[in-house]
Structure 1
Amino acid sequence: MNFSIEQLQAFDAAAHTGSFSAAARRLGKAQSVISTAVANLEADLGVSLFDRSGRYPALTAEGKRLLLDARHIIEACANLQALSGEIAAGVEHRLTLAVDDTSHLPWLEPILGVFAERFPNVELELLFPLLDDQIAMLLSGRAQIGIGYEQTNAHKDIETRSIGMVRAPLFVAADHPLAAKKRVGRADLIKHRQIVITSRGGAPHHFDVLIASKVWRVEGDLAILELVKRGHGWAMLPEFLAEGPLGAGEIFRLQPDFIPELPVMRMEVLWHRPHAQGKAGIWLRDALIRRAAERN
């Protein structure tokens, strides 16, 4: 038995896409290469992985069972390759950090201050994409590290670590009509404009819970906060962003009587596993994870 990682990848891609031609497109290879790799793997293992009697290849019972182990091996190889790349990498000259919205800067800045002292010659680029825009940047290599909220349909090559939990209460301007109520019901909120966050790609957001019939969609929590402060509507906002304006009396926290628990989302640091991090990226990634551990 002498199978290769390329054979396992061809097997996995064919099983995932449902055909050898689609697997070839996914892996950027000729269909004959995929078909030959799978056939050689079957010969090496001594079992038939696909039933080829129909129009499309279908996994056999043996293929279904072996696919799980094949994927574990592919995952382990990817981890080994990423780890070895990081160990071999030196200090990169440039690092791009993609942060889900500028509203995270107040708590992030102290970490960046330490980063500046440890890596004074590294050119740091800060970008502020949202949701699917951020993932696209990580996958393409445009950004090396991301900070954002938990992904509902995470890409298999995106590695994540939790860096804390965020609640999103409901807020309005201090002089908004809703601020006069001790508790608000769904019928109260429906009557007033709701301001929700959006991304350029249009993906659903973690705090995108539509209640009102009149809606404004805004790119960025800071912009939403400013519109809320000026009385244009109510919105769900991260607690860390609302603390200052709430303490200054600029906004009011609503108490809904129909939501048993406020929306809570996990914040994560994200990176694309196949792209090796340099020493500066590894330090920044670990510093974000340590911050979360120290706060818990």
Structure 2
Amino acid sequence: MNLSLEQLRTLLAAADSGSFSAAARQLGKAQSVVSSAIANLEADLDLGLFDRSGRYPQLTSAGERIVAQARAVLASSEQLQAVALELHGGVESRLTLAIDDDSQLSWVAEVLSRFAEAFPAIELELLFPMLEDLTHLLREGRAQLGISYERLQPSPELEFHALGRLAMPIVAAPTHPLATLVKVGLDHLRLERQLMVTGQRGGGERERFRFSPNVWWVEGDWGLLELTKRGLGWGSVPQYLLQGPLARGEVVLLPVDFLAQQQSLGLELLWRRDRSLGPAGRWLKEALVAHARQVFRD
């Protein structure tokens, strides 16, 4: 058995159009050519694909199953051709984007949807390392792009573009002792357990905004928020995660009086200085910068 893609295309044209003559017009071929191609396919498969007893040919039960398989084969063929075209054009076959916390997907997902349309054949990998874990992946070449909170100690081998700033309010559960205070000072915070985000590598980045000697470390903003809602400590959480919990009364904003302005952190897009991005990487970098300009504009 030696089937061709052209035979499968002819089969689908006949099945979808409802007649051999309509399939011939669609394919720009003579009806006799289409009829012969179908007959040869039936002979190769040793199956009757069409019932020709009526005015128009009707798919048999075997024909319906073969048509379904033919669609899958042709779809795979088209995907293979798309990959080959992208590789021939210098488009990378795989791209890894590292994001500091999966909660960032709330604004990144729109860009990824457009990326999927622009580069449908690329294998995209999303990783969610925290703090130094993210910069380590970039330095080691494990990821090509990264979205990180601003770093205390920038790495000389990494280039960056500022994306915007995120408000990081200090919150606690309504039942927490700090929630009863009219003003919360530094001494009050020091007396209560603080919940803080950490990466697996530890490091100095996680110590930023530490005010209490008593800390529980949590790998991720979602986990930190959940523990805060349960009254297990107070913490600083990105503003965009708080709309629902605040509206439902699961957490309250603490009236912290010693900070000159609302606590915030910048977001940065990172990549290696010495490694050029391919067409897909450059597209994603530019799209993230443009979208962030809309999301985080003042």
Deviations 1:249-295 (A, max 9, x none): 21111111122223222101100122221111111110111113334
Say whether the 8 Å CA contact 1:89–1:278 is kept in structure 2: no
1:89 positional shift: 7.2
User: Aligned ranges for residues 29-40 of structure 1 at < 5 Å?
Assistant: none
User: Which AA in structure 1 matches 2:286?
Assistant: D
Q: Secondary structure at the match of 2:260?
A: coil
Residue 187 of structure 1: how far off its partner (Å): 2.7
| Cα deviation digits, residues 92-133 of structure 1 (max 9, x gap) | 111100001112111111111111111111111111112221
1:130 matched to 2:127? The reply is no
Output the CA distance in 1 between the equivalents of 2:251 and 2:135: 32
Q: Which amino acid aligns with 2:215?
A: V
Q: How does 1:119-158 map to 2 (within 5 A)?
A: 119-158=119-158
**Alpha-carbon offset, residue 244 of structure 1:** 2.5
Contact 2:172-2:254 within 8 A present in 1 as well: yes
TM-score (norm: length of structure 2): 0.66
Show the counterpart of 1:227. Answer: 227
CA RMSD of aligned residues (A): 1.9
Q: 2 CA distance for matches of 1:227 and 1:199?
A: 17
CA contact (8 A) 1:149 1:206 kept: no
Secondary structure at the counterpart of residue 205 of structure 1: helix
Residue 176, structure 1, aligned to residue 176, structure 2: yes
Which consecutive unaligned segments of at least 5 residues does structure 2 have?
Answer: 1-87
Q: What's the secondary structure of 1:250's corresponding residue?
A: coil
8 Å CA contact 1:197–1:208 kept in 2: the answer is no
Query: Hey, what does 2:254 align to over in structure 1?
Result: 254
Contact kept in structure 2, 1:196 and 1:208, CA below 8 Å: no
Match of 1:285 in 2: 285
Unaligned runs of 5+ in 1: 1-87
Q: How does 1:1-296 map to 2 (within 5 A)?
A: 90-205=90-205, 208-295=208-295, 296=297
Question: What is the Cα deviation at residue 207 of structure 1?
Answer: 7.0
Whether the 8 Å CA contact 1:172–1:228 is kept in 2: the answer is yes
Say whether the 8 Å CA contact 1:115–1:284 is kept in structure 2. yes
The answer to whether the Cα contact below 8 Å between 1:132 and 1:203 also exists between their aligned partners in 2 is yes
- Give the whole-Å Cα distance in 2 for the aligned partners of 1:90 and 1:152: 36
Paired residue type of 1:127: L
Contact 2:189–2:211 at 8 Å: present in 1 too? yes
For 1:14-66, what per-residue CA distance to the aligned partner results, in whole angstroms no more than 9, with x for missing partners?
Answer: xxxxxxxxxxxxxxxxxxxxxxxxxxxxxxxxxxxxxxxxxxxxxxxxxxxxx
> Contact between 2:196 and 2:235, CA under 8 Å: does it hold in 1?
yes
Q: CA distance change for structure 1 residues 89 and 245 in 2, over 3 Å: closer, same or farther?
A: farther
Structure 1 contact 197–207 (Cα < 8 Å) conserved: no
CA distance in 1, matches of 2:276, 2:138: 12
Q: Measure, in 1, the Cα distance between the counterparts of 2:97 and 2:160.
A: 14
Over 3 Å counting, the alpha-carbon distance change for 1:244 and 1:90 in structure 2 is farther
Percent identity between matched residues is: 42
How far 1:170 moved relative to its partner?
0.4
Give secondary structure in 1 for the equivalent of 2:217.
strand
Q: In structure 1, what is the Cα distance between the partners aligned to 2:270 and 2:290?
A: 14
Q: CA deviation at 1:206?
A: 6.4
**In structure 2, C-alpha distance between the alignment counterparts of 1:180 and 1:121, rounded to whole Å:** 55
The answer on whether the counterparts of 1:100 and 1:129 sit within 8 Å (CA) in structure 2 is: yes
**Is the contact between residue 198 and residue 204 of structure 1 (CA under 8 Å) also seen in structure 2?**
no
Tell me if structure 1 keeps the 8 A contact 2:151–2:205: no
C-alpha distance in 2, partners of 1:89/1:261?
50
Distance change >3 Å, CA 142–CA 89, structure 1 → 2: farther
